[in-house]
Amino acid sequence: MDRIAHFTSLVAQQPTNDLFRFSLAQALVAAGRGAEAEPHLRACAQAKADWMIPRIALGKILLAQGRRAEARPVLEDALRLAIDQHHEDPEAEVRALLAELG
């Protein structure tokens, strides 16, 4: 069973399990199916106010889709979390993404 099918099954069995949902989103992104990952990443971000990584991934998806105005607040939130949590590499990555937005 491929990763997408595996995590789709797990999410169907346990829809409130945020780790399964995030793993499904990661598998979808890796397969180039970012649009399908978006609702899962949004659910993860909404479930945990301090979960930075889904916000970064969501921001990247929105940027890739040309949805810059939607990406900005998501990435700004991710940047705040990166700074608050002292995650230097994600902070640098998000700063670079925001710089692209101008």
Q: Express each pLDDT in 42-79 by its tens digit.
A: 999 999 999 999 999 999 999 999 999 999 999 999 99
What is the pLDDT, as a whole number, of residue 102?
82
| DSSP output for the chain | --HHHHHHHHHHH-TT-HHHHHHHHHHHHHTT-HHHHHHHHHHHHHH-TT-HHHHHHHHHHHHHTT-HHHHHHHHHHHHHHHHHTT-HHHHHHHHHHHHHH-
Domains belonging to the chain, first-starting first, are 3-101 (1.25.40.10)
Rounded CA-CA distance 65/36 in Å is 12
What is the pLDDT, as a whole number, of residue 48?
95
Tokens matching residue 101:
């937005």
If you search the block for the tokens 């399990």, which residue do you land on? Answer: 17
